[in-house]
């Protein structure tokens, strides 16, 4: 290769383009090398010079594009063999603790009477904020959580009897306070069974509603009802059932 150093003063640089250099360049392009890597070597012309050759030398331009097409065919033929396996897409953020095992443990410990605060205080358990986020976004977990809370209410109801039996004359005031607190908690956990609505079904029957239209008017300075729409089925029916005007005096 010709050196890229400038020639001595008074001498002309030998021409860069020669048939041998052009042929060698096309062979390297066809072998898969890039034009940028070839031109970066010492003694090789820069990329602008190669682009000038492509415009000025029709035969070199034809050989160059044939070499480029050959390189592309070779790359397409061997691309599958040298391709790297795709990397699995990883979910951004911290890995979640919402696993079936964790959910089972939360529901079992709730049903056994343990509070959610004590459960979430364990190092291997999620925070209470995370549990409430799961309740909003996971309907199956929400159903199991409600069932666990109801089991907790049953356990609290049974606990009242144990507290009452263990009371003594000296501790009766404390036992009464504990019973009130346990009853209040059971009522909040399952109000349909242990609250003010105890004995009613969880889903009461829809009895519908009745709309009553009543019309009043001023008669001799007094407000009186001018129709009786108790059995009326429409506003017009109610008007047809108008009462006689009240007697004066």
pLDDT in tens, 139-196: 999 999 999 999 998 888 888 888 888 888 898 899 889 888 888 888 888 888 887 6
Does residue 190 contact residue 151 with C-beta atoms inside 8 Å? no
Dist. CA 192–CA 149, nearest whole Å = 13
**How confident is the model over 195-230, as pLDDT tens digits?**
765 555 444 555 555 666 666 677 677 776 665 444
Does residue 70 contact residue 64 with C-beta atoms inside 8 Å? no
Does residue 219 contact residue 245 with C-beta atoms inside 8 Å? yes
Encode 102-116: b = buried (16+ Cβ within 10 Å), e = exposed: bbeebbebbbeeeeb
The contacts of residue 91 (CB under 8 Å, 6+ apart) are: none
Dist. CA 18–CA 77, nearest whole Å = 32
The model's pTM is: 0.42
For 217, phi and psi rounded to 5 degrees?
-150, 165
11: left (phi > 0), else alpha (psi -120 to 50), else beta? beta
Q: Which CATH number fits domain 19-82: 2.160.20.10, 1.10.10.60, 1.10.760.10, 3.50.50.60?
A: 1.10.10.60
For 151, phi and psi rounded to 5 degrees?
-65, -35
Does residue 64 contact residue 55 with C-beta atoms inside 8 Å? no
Does residue 187 contact residue 179 with C-beta atoms inside 8 Å? no
CATH fold of 100-194 reads Arc Repressor Mutant, subunit A (1.10.10)
Task: At 152, list the tokens.
Answer: 């907790």
Helix 128-137 and helix 139-165: axis angle, to 10°? 130
**How confident is the model over 74-103, as pLDDT tens digits?**
777 666 666 677 777 766 666 677 788 999
Are domains 19-82 and 100-194 of this chain identical in fold? yes
Q: Which of 244, 198, 189 is nearest to 219 (CA)?
A: 244
Q: Where are the domains of the chain?
A: 19-82, 100-194, 209-249
Virtual torsion, Cα 94, 97, 99, 105, nearest 10 deg: 180
């Amino acid at each position: 290769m010709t050196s890229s150093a400038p020639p001595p003063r008074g001498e002309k640089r030998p021409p860069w383009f020669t048939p041998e250099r052009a042929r060698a360049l096309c062979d390297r392009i066809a072998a898969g090398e890039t034009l940028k890597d070839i031109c970066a070597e010492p003694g090789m012309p820069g990329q602008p010079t190669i682009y000038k050759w492509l415009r000025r030398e029709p035969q070199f331009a034809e050989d160059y594009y044939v070499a480029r097409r050959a390189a592309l065919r070779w790359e397409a033929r061997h691309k599958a063999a040298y391709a790297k396996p795709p990397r699995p897409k990883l979910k951004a953020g911290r890995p979640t603790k919402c696993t079936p095992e964790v959910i089972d443990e939360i529901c079992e410990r709730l049903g056994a009477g343990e509070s959610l605060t004590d459960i979430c205080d364990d190092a291997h358990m999620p925070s209470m904020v995370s549990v409430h986020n799961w309740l909003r976004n996971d309907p199956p977990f929400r159903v199991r959580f409600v069932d666990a809370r109801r089991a907790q209410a049953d356990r609290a109801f049974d606990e009242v009897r144990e507290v009452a039996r263990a009371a003594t004359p000296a501790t009766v005031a404390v036992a009464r306070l504990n019973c009130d607190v346990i009853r209040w908690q059971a009522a909040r956990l399952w109000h349909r069974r242990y609250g003010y609505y105890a004995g009613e079904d969880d889903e009461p029957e829809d009895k519908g509603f009745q709309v009553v239209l009543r019309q009043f008017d001023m008669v001799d300075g007094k407000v009186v009802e001018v129709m009786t729409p108790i059995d009326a089925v429409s506003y017009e029916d109610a008007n047809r059932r108008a009462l006689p005007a009240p007697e004066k005096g």
